[in-house]
Amino acid sequence: MLGPNVETPKIAIVGGGIGGLAAAAFLRRAGLRGTVYEQAPALKEVGAGLVVAPNAARLLRRLGVLGRLRRSAVRLDVGWEFRRWQDGTVLSAEDLATACERLYGEHTYTVHRAELLDVLKTAVPEDAIRLGKRCTALELRDGRPSLRFDDGERAEADIVIGADGVHSVVRGAVTEPRPAAYSGLCAFRALVPGDRAPSFALRRAQTLWIGPGRHLVHYPVSGGRAVNLVAFAPAGDDSVESWTARATVEEFLLEFDGWDPRLVDLVRAAETPGRWALLDRAPLPRWSRGPVTLLGDAAHPMFPFFAQGAAQAIEDAAVLARCLAEDVADPARALRRYESLRLPRTSRLQAVSHARADVNHLPDGPGQRARDRSFAGTDPLVGNAWIYEYDPDAAMAPEAGAG
Ligand code: FAD
């Protein structure tokens, strides 16, 4: 049951990443207030890029921050340009320049993660962000959530949103812990300074080189001042699921030995890469329990092969804020509604992202040749319409009418 302050529930958001800040921003837009508790002493993102697909751009526009983001973002002309590992033969490419806005009303951008976090921060009141607050426990006392932090502070809230990422503490209060499975894959990520990047990597394109057991994606970010590299390869014994594990350029190069020389040159120009294992997590059966819910990677971590994890966190935030605003007297019911609106879509994205690894990593042979032929007959921009055209307000309209 909601606490005494029924009109303006006290909402605690654990985690100040893209999902947590988006939640605070959408709550504010809906006339509610959330306090973000972030463990780090400053809001920061890793030095890496992100694709902002039309479904995310639409919501950033609604928050009033897309214009500011566009000052540093790169507007892509070409998306998902699949190339053969050995010689760069183009297998398939999305024509974003002429079709993306026409089909989905928004463009596709690439950004540096820190730039996205910065613009989201402008949509959240400064005093709604508490830094250096690592949540260590969440208890329900007579149904009311109480958060504990590592500095000894406690905070009571009417509603708790766990936006605390893949190792979520809040998740333990919602559902049984499920161990993550070892995926056998690891990800390398690195930035290449723009002035060291070959011109083909500075095109306004999201390029994917696919080959046996591996693939590599690159695109320019920060107005072309850097090129973002992210690559997937067999993990060996590496099992660190973290953004902080370091690797060397030599280790990165070894993975792509024998690939198209343009690609090898690009990797050689990279700054110190990070490497971490991708752990495999099945969709959770539930995200909410009473007044506690999850959002973003805490709820639905996914392989990044559709570049949709952050976009889904932003969509979650938009739907969650509306559900709470429309049912402020009964948060548990509002959270159940949020979960039922969001869980099927994010589970589908988890599944298709999972399946993409096998497709991208086929060994050369009949299966690979059939895949490459099928690329020619499909337009991924249209095939992915269910991802890009999603609008939370539209998705809630028929459901709201039925309810
Ligand atoms: P996080 O970004 O993990 O943020 C969680 C926050 O909570 C952090 O700030 C953390 O410090 C804080 N926190 C954690 N524990 C606590 C605690 N106990 N107390 C307080 N604070 C805590 N998505 C896209 O949309 N497009 C892409 O192109 C894309 N590319 C990707 C490429 C790679 C290689 C990977 C791995 C992911 C990619 N994603 C992409 C996915 C995207 O990065 C994530 O889905 C997104 O960052 C999730 O945001 P989040 O806020 O849910 O979690």
Average pLDDT over residues 233-252: 75
Beta bridge partners of 78: 95, 205
Q: Is 307 in the pocket of ligand 1 (CB under 6 A)?
A: yes
pLDDT digits (tens, 9 = 90+) for 173-182: 998 877 777 7
Mean pLDDT of the chain: 91
Beta bridge partners of 186: 233, 277
What distance in Å separates the CA atoms of residue 184 and residue 26, rounded to the nearest whole number? 37
Query: What pLDDT score does 239 carry?
Result: 58
Query: What pLDDT score does 241 carry?
Result: 55
Task: Return the closest-CA partner of residue 232 out of 291, 278, 265.
Answer: 278
Residue 12 has pLDDT above 50, yes or no: yes
Average pLDDT over residues 63-72: 97
Residue 380 has pLDDT above 60, yes or no: yes
Query: What pLDDT score does 1 carry?
Result: 36
User: Which H helix or E strand runs over 306?
Assistant: none
pLDDT digits (tens, 9 = 90+) for 140-172: 988 899 999 999 999 999 999 999 998 899 999
Query: What pLDDT score does 2 carry?
Result: 38
Given the candidates 3.20.20.70, 3.90.550.10, 3.50.50.60, 3.40.309.10, the CATH classification of the domain at 11-39+132-178+282-361 is 3.50.50.60
Average pLDDT over residues 61-87: 96
Given the candidates 3.30.9.30, 3.30.1480.10, 2.40.30.30, 3.40.50.970, the CATH classification of the domain at 77-105+180-280+362-395 is 3.30.9.30
pLDDT band at 377 (very low <50, low <70, confident <90, very high): confident
Q: Is 311 in the pocket of ligand 1 (CB under 6 A)?
A: yes
190 in Cβ contact with 44 (< 8 Å): no
Query: What pLDDT score does 4 carry?
Result: 46
Does the annotation mark 338 as catalytic? no
What distance in Å separates the CA atoms of residue 314 and residue 298, rounded to the nearest whole number? 13
72 in Cβ contact with 111 (< 8 Å): yes
Nearest-5° Cα angle at 167, 32 to 155: 40
How many helices (H) and strands (E) would you count in the chain? Answer: 14, 18
Top mutation candidate among 14, 18, 166 for ligand 1, by most atoms within 8 Å of CB: 18
201 in Cβ contact with 266 (< 8 Å): yes
Tell which wins on pLDDT, 204 or 272. 204
Q: Is 293 in the pocket of ligand 1 (CB under 6 A)?
A: no
Nearest-5° Cα angle at 314, 137 to 335: 55
pLDDT band at 235 (very low <50, low <70, confident <90, very high): confident
pLDDT digits (tens, 9 = 90+) for 44-59: 777 789 999 999 999 9
Residue 400 has pLDDT above 60, yes or no: no
Query: How much of the chain, in percent, has pLDDT values that exceed 90?
Result: 79
Q: Which of 37, 104, 109, 219 is an active site residue? A: 219
- Locus of tokens 């080959």: 211
Q: Indicate the domain borders of the chain.
A: 11-39+132-178+282-361, 77-105+180-280+362-395
Query: What pLDDT score does 104 carry?
Result: 95
Top mutation candidate among 35, 36, 38 for ligand 1, by most atoms within 8 Å of CB: 38
- Tell how strand 34-37 and strand 129-130 pair up: parallel
Q: Which atom of ligand 1 is nearest to the CA of 16?
A: 9
Q: Virtual CA dihedral for 12, 14, 17, 23, nearest 10 degrees?
A: -30
